Amino acid sequence: MAVSPSALPARQILVVDDDTELRRQMAAYLREHGYLVQEAADAAAMERALAQTAVDLVVLDVMLPGEDGLSICRRLADEGGPAIVMVSAMGEEVDRILGLELGADDYLAKPCNPRELLARVRAVIRRLDEVRGGGAPRGRTYQFQGFVLDMLRRQLRAPNGTTILLTAGEFSLLVAFLDHPQRILSRDQLLELARGSQADVFDRAVDVQISRLRRKLHACVESEIIRTYRGAGYLFDARVTRP
């Protein structure tokens, strides 16, 4: 049975930024809107916070002393860590794409409007809530070409039994494909299915995250599961069952 977002516990957010004033402003605004927020100025402080608390989402600055945000993002994504919303003064599209390629779920350029940050955080948290709360009525697992996706654990098992780590964005896109197999889906349709119609994201994010998801699937099987139809969208070319 689906659980309403209001019935779920407050989500834990960790804001990682060495700009003390900005970090406190972001943290205070998120607290005002119901989130439990911790702060960290660098990677070491972040690790201490993660060791003490189960964090749902990290708001992560790119330019940090010591280990930079891009390196942290890659490491957290590889470890299957919390969702990541990156913030950076480097607002060029190539920088946003790089952050997404390394595993971020969204990317904001500094200075960012607090309301926009809240909207992006809510969009990512909403996807996590849908997974943990059951979301729309659907089976506990999906199976396709030897893969098994466990909705409750948010785990994808490969045909050889190993676990494939997915970011929140990759997971949401995969579920959208599994709910609509053998059907061409446009970017707009994927954005609405995976992120919600109110999410303010740019189309290129879909291409980047699908590319990452495709590489992870193709590393386990020879056949091409996600096919690109230029000018139309993407098609999930596999038989899907929900036992």
Question: pLDDT digit string (tens) for 205-243?
Answer: 778 888 889 999 999 998 899 999 998 999 999 999 986
Angstrom distance (rounded) from CA 208 to CA 134: 26
Q: Which two tokens stand for residue 33?
A: 């809107």
Beta bridge partners of 157: 148, 163
Contact by Cβ (8 Å): 142, 178: yes
Residue 12 burial (CB count, 10 A)? 17
Give percent of the chain with pLDDT exceeding 90. Answer: 44
Out of 21-25, 192-196, 215-219, which region has the weakest mean confidence (pLDDT)?
A: 192-196
pLDDT surpassing 90 at residue 169:
no
pLDDT surpassing 70 at residue 172:
yes
Angstrom distance (rounded) from CA 186 to CA 232: 6
- The label of the residue with tokens 């740019």 reads 202
Mean pLDDT of the 8-24 span: 88
| β-pair type (12-16, 36-40) | parallel
Phi, psi of 68 (to 5 degrees): -80, 170
pLDDT digits (tens, 9 = 90+) for 55-97: 999 999 998 999 999 899 988 887 777 889 999 887 666 667 7
* pLDDT in the model for residue 92: 60
Contact by Cβ (8 Å): 204, 92: no
* pLDDT in the model for residue 88: 86
pLDDT surpassing 60 at residue 201:
no
Mean pLDDT of the 2-17 span: 69
Give percent of the chain with pLDDT exceeding 70. Answer: 83
